[in-house]
């Protein structure tokens, strides 16, 4: 990052030529350990990869095989890493979803993830064990396209930068998880800071105890993005936040959105970009402003009432008269009103496939699953549920249980496909908040077309409905439609966008809204589908799909060493 563009483009050219020649295998050796870090200037015990948070960016060319040998050096804590946006075709055991596709990697153990990156685009990786993601285990995956190939970018640029957005708490992931499971709930509250490429600035640094926060620590110096006047830059932007929906802006530089979750989109221009946890975008900006001053990159919380200062970084022009480290002369942009739902809704609707890269969806679904998203209580605990069922992970990962014939390892009753939608008032507090838990899963006919409609509703508190970014493992889905209000299965499917819907792996369900998506169940494996807010998934906001596991050969031994299968 921050390299002169010429070097970058040569690097890409070299990588791309290599791809034309033959697919490469890219090996990585990672050690996961706790280290004291000053990401927002305050000292925190963070989960790092080779001592870094965020971890190193994985760079590859379409078609390459990525091999990551992960050593868990956490001493007392399990681990698992999910490669978010990579479909894992033929390697479902490498998805990294603890409890679904693999046993956790035990302290001291090594696990080798091997998978093919079959499509170009911007992806990410992060922990998928407990709430470990919020402790800092995350990073980017950048897959470049072979030039001139069918998946080459339908846009031009001179250089590129990468932006990884995050939210950051001073309390540990353990304390947060224990709070969520307490009666009554102990909620950690809004993040202390917002990070850009792992760097932020805690506003109350000076009020902390001596030694606990160092405002001049180099680890929290803001990232500087350098640009050459007149050139066009691609910014690859990803959000790994645990909680926050964000709005991202590059002061004075309108952004043309060109990629979402690894798919090219019909370009549209925005002043600022709404980005939900688990999403990635590429935008183009033109470096055409006064080069003699610096500009802010700003991230702001939206959808929840903000309690966190703007996260910032700096855009600086080569050859300008301003020192790259000098703060811009303005105050950082504060983004749109946090509660302007329709502003965010319109940006969602504007995201459709690029005209030259439309992959039409199947015209109709074989099965439709309607999922009501509610906040509930179970045994006094606060939970999230789908159709009144709150998800729990089984002790034996589904993939392991199903391949070993251990069908007693999870609830064999499938969860409900729908709810009593006709009489349901999504704006009201439910008269009875009680729900049940289950670790049952949805078994899909291999090759069938599945529609899922996610219906948002009121939470336990009156007049409150949150945004939920839903992420599907193992597939991309077509985003067929969004609405605000109650979804009507007799009305809304008639106007689905079957012409040029975008393919994504993560999509927002807006407050009191619904989102309709379609996918093909053609990737043998067991796949989580869940809200990407870490606390929500922890509280049960997810489901699991299975398709075609009988087509898989035996699983690699490494994934199978836990639960009822132990000693196998």
Ligand X SMILES: *[C@@H]1O[C@H](CO)[C@@H](O)[C@H](O)[C@H]1NC(C)=O
CB of 204 to ligand X, least distance (A): 4
CB of 468 to ligand X, least distance (A): 17
- Of residues 35 and 214, the one with the C-beta less far from ligand X: 214
- Of residues 217 and 231, the one with the C-beta less far from ligand X: 217
CB of 529 to Cu ion, least distance (A): 12
Both structure tokens of 430: 């439910």
- Of residues 179 and 561, the one with the C-beta less far from Cu ion: 179
Bridge partners of residue 375, in order along the sequence: 384
Question: Would you give the binding string for Cu ion spanning residues 535-554, x where CB under 5 A is met?
Answer: -x------------------
- Of residues 60 and 389, the one with the C-beta less far from Cu ion: 389
| Count of positions on this chain that bind Cu ion (CB under 5 A) | 4
Segment lying near Cu ion (by CB under 5 A), choices 296-304, 375-383, 398-406, 533-541: 533-541
Both structure tokens of 425: 């008032």
- Kindly state whether residue 468 participates in binding Cu ion, applying the rule CB under 5 A: yes
Kindly give, in sequence order, each residue whose CB lies less than 8 Å from that of residue 380, ignoring residues fewer than 6 positions away: 183, 184
- Of residues 465 and 506, the one with the C-beta less far from ligand X: 465
- Kindly state whether residue 531 participates in binding Cu ion, applying the rule CB under 5 A: yes
CB of 338 to ligand X, least distance (A): 7
- Of residues 44 and 468, the one with the C-beta less far from Cu ion: 468
Q: Which does 359 bind (CB under 5 to 8 A by kind): Cu ion, ligand X, none?
A: none
Q: Which of 385, 533, 539, 543 binds Cu ion (CB under 5 A)?
A: 533
Bridge partners of residue 37, in order along the sequence: 44
Both structure tokens of 196: 């850009």
CB of 542 to Cu ion, least distance (A): 9
Cα separation, 325 vs 530, in Å, equals: 40
- Of residues 340 and 366, the one with the C-beta less far from ligand X: 340
Q: Helical H runs in 363-493? A: 398-403
Cβ pair 61, 93 in contact under 8 A: no
Q: What share of the chain is helix, strand, coil (3-state, %, to 5)?
A: 15, 40, 50
Candidates 559, 554, 563; CA nearest to 109 is 559
Q: Which does 531 bind (CB under 5 to 8 A by kind): Cu ion, ligand X, none?
A: Cu ion
Cβ pair 197, 248 in contact under 8 A: no
CB of 188 to ligand X, least distance (A): 12
Candidates 56, 44, 13; CA nearest to 145 is 13
With tokens 């760079």, the residue in question is 59
Question: Would you give the binding string for Cu ion spanning residues 307-336, x where CB under 5 A is met?
Answer: ------------------------------
Bridge partners of residue 159, in order along the sequence: 233
Question: Would you give the binding string for Cu ion spanning residues 195-234, x where CB under 5 A is met?
Answer: ----------------------------------------
Both structure tokens of 440: 């049952």
Cα separation, 300 vs 211, in Å, equals: 28
- Of residues 201 and 536, the one with the C-beta less far from Cu ion: 536
CB of 371 to ligand X, least distance (A): 11
| CB burial readout 528-538, b (16+ within 10 A) else e | bbbbbbbbbbb
What does the DSSP assignment read for 43-72? -EEEEEETTBSS-PPEEEETT-EEEEEEEE
Q: Which does 468 bind (CB under 5 to 8 A by kind): ligand X, Cu ion, none?
A: Cu ion
Q: Which does 155 bind (CB under 5 to 8 A by kind): Cu ion, ligand X, none?
A: none
Q: Which does 536 bind (CB under 5 to 8 A by kind): Cu ion, ligand X, none?
A: Cu ion
CB of 100 to Cu ion, least distance (A): 18
Cα separation, 272 vs 276, in Å, equals: 13
Strands 295-302 and 81-84, sheet pairing: unpaired
Q: Which residues bind ligand X (CB under 6 A)?
A: 192, 203-204, 207, 214, 216-218, 337, 339-340, 372, 379-380, 388, 419-420, 432, 434-435, 462-463
Cβ pair 354, 473 in contact under 8 A: no
Q: Which does 43 bind (CB under 5 to 8 A by kind): ligand X, Cu ion, none?
A: none
Sign of the CA dihedral running 384, 390, 396, 399: negative
Footprint on this chain of Cu ion (rule: CB under 5 A): 468, 531, 533, 536
């Amino acid at each position: 990052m921050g390299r002169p563009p010429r070097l970058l483009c040569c690097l890409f050219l070299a990588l791309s030529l290599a791809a034309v020649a033959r697919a490469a295998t890219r090996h990585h050796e990672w050690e996961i350990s706790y280290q004291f870090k000053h990401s927002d200037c305050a000292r925190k015990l963070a989960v790092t990869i080779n001592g870094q948070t965020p971890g190193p960016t994985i760079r590859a060319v379409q078609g390459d095989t990525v091999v990551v040998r992960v050593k868990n050096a956490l001493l007392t804590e399990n681990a698992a890493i999910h490669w978010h946006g990579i479909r894992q075709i033929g390697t479902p055991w490498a998805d990294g979803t603890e409890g679904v596709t693999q046993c956790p990697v035990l302290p001291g153990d090594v696990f080798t993830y091997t998978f093919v990156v079959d499509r170009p685009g911007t992806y990410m990786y992060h922990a998928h064990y407990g709430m470990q993601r919020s402790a800092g285990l995350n990073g980017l995956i950048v897959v470049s396209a072979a030039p001139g190939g069918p998946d080459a970018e339908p846009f031009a640029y001179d250089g590129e930068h990468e932006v990884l957005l995050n939210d950051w708490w001073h309390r540990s992931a353990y304390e947060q998880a224990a709070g969520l499971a307490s009666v009554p709930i102990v909620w950690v509250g809004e993040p202390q800071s917002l990070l850009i490429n792992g760097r932020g600035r805690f506003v109350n640094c000076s009020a902390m105890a001596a030694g606990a926060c160092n405002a001049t620590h180099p680890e929290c110096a803001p990232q500087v993005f350098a640009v050459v006047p007149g050139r066009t830059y691609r910014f690859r932007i990803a959000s790994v936040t645990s909680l926050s929906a964000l709005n991202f802006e590059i002061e004075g530089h309108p952004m043309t959105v060109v990629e979402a979750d690894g798919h090219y989109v019909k370009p549209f221009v925005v002043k600022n970009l709404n980005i939900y946890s688990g999403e990635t975008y590429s935008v183009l900006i033109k470096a055409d402003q006064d080069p003699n001053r610096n500009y802010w990159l700003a991230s702001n919380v939206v959808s929840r009432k903000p309690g966190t200062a703007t996260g910032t970084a700096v855009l600086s022009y080569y050859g300008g008269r301003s020192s790259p480290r000098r703060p811009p002369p303005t105050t950082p942009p504060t983004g749109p009103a946090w509660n302007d739902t329709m502003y965010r809704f319109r940006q969602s609707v504007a995201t459709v496939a690029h005209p030259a890269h439309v992959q039409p969806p199947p015209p109709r679904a074989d099965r439709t699953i309607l999922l009501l998203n509610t906040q509930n209580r179970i045994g006094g605990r606060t939970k999230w549920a789908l159709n009144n069922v709150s998800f729990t992970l089984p002790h034996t990962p589904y993939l392991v249980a199903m391949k070993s014939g251990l069908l007693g390892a999870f609830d064999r009753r499938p969860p409900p496909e729908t709810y009593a939608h006709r009489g349901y008032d999504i704006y009201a507090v439910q008269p009875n908040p009680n729900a049940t838990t289950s670790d049952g899963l949805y078994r899909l006919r291999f090759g069938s077309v599945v529609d899922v409609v996610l219906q948002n509703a009121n939470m336990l508190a009156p007049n409150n409905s949150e945004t939920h970014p839903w992420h599907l493992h193992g597939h991309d889905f077509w985003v067929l439609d969004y609405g605000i209000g109650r979804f009507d299965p007799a009305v809304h499917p008639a106007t689905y966008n079957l012409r040029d819907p975008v393919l994504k792996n993560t999509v927002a369900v807006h407050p009191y809204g619904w989102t309709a998506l379609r996918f093909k169940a053609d990737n043998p494996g067991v796949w989580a589908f869940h809200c990407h807010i870490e606390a929500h998934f922890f509280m049960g906001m997810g489901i699991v799909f299975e398709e075609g596991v009988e087509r898989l050969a035996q699983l690699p031994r490494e994934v199978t060493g836990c639960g009822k299968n132990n000693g196998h």
